[in-house]
Amino acid sequence: MAKITNPFDIYKLLPQTNCGECALPNCLAFSAAVIRGQKKLAGCPYLKAEDKKELVNRISIREEFNRARGEDLDALKGMIRAVNLSAKAHLLGARLVSGKLAIKSLGKDFFVDARGNVTSECHTHAWMCVPLLSYIVHSSGMDLTGRWVPFRELKDGSPMNALFKQRGEKPLKKLLDRNSELLEDLLGIFSGERADNRLFSSDIALTLYPLPKVPVLVCYWNPEGDMDSDLTIFFDASAEKHLQIESLFSLGVGLVMMFEKIARNHI
Ligand code: SF4
């Protein structure tokens, strides 16, 4: 039976109520802690006995998880030390400033030193650090293809697509249903660009650049007659050459969580 190294395989069997009884803030954090060997499945009283039985022999703990994903922050910092930042800057669409790699994310400079420490001219978002370091380590430097694809069409995206919809696209759609002006505001705050909405016949389309060579296209369709509104987050087809699917997931979902926070606090 195949070993589980991806926390999403546990998450999808949890009730996803984020009740906190496992002493972690949400079910995703619990799933990741189980994979890392920091929590036992028994920590969630709501996991069905038959699912627990099935999972227990299939979970690989931290070391294998890190090797498989290469996404652990400390492991990534270790890998950054082996990267020639000066030689890679151009490939990443970045530049070298006082020995640090300056990478634009959503219009703001993020600086990464040779030991993988991340600083920024604005508040450093924790969710950005892993995709950012992963981009430096894994990116092939491939140029954009100009072909937009949904998450499910990226390499390894299909098994995680339902979760991406649930954690990323659905909450963003809800946000825009309530506040259609939000996308306009996001354009200004995050140096986005209005995209050609004829491409997917959407009512609103904008491009944001969380990483220089990993843009996302957000398309929103207004409700019409009996049809509900709809929203899709597209990636350039080259995204899988820059980041592993888990980092692309974190990037998309992290963006949406940040937008929700902004909508709550500032707009
Ligand atoms: S106890 Fe279970 S349902 Fe509650 S947050 Fe933890 S994992 Fe989720």
CA distance 241 to 123: 28
Dist. CA 247 → ligand 1 center (Å): 23
Q: Is the CB of 25 under 6 A from ligand 1?
A: no
pTM of the model: 0.72
- Taking alpha carbons only, the member of 258, 178, 177, 244 closest to residue 210 is 258
Measured in Å, residue 27 CA sits from the centre of ligand 1 at 5
Instruction: Please report, in tens digits, the pLDDT of each residue of the chain (267 residues total).
Output: 677 878 888 888 998 888 889 888 788 888 888 887 778 899 999 999 999 888 887 886 544 434 434 456 777 888 999 999 999 999 999 999 999 999 999 988 999 999 999 988 776 566 688 889 999 999 999 999 999 999 999 998 888 888 889 889 999 999 999 887 787 788 888 889 988 878 889 998 999 999 999 999 999 999 998 899 999 999 999 999 999 888 898 889 888 888 888 887 755
Cα–Cα distance measured from residue 217 to residue 235, given in angstroms and rounded to the nearest whole number = 6
**Cα–Cα distance measured from residue 55 to residue 47, given in angstroms and rounded to the nearest whole number:** 10
pLDDT, residue 257, reads 83
Between the CA of 21 and the centroid of ligand 1 the distance, in Å, is 6
Could you tell me if the CB of 92 is within 6 A of ligand 1? no
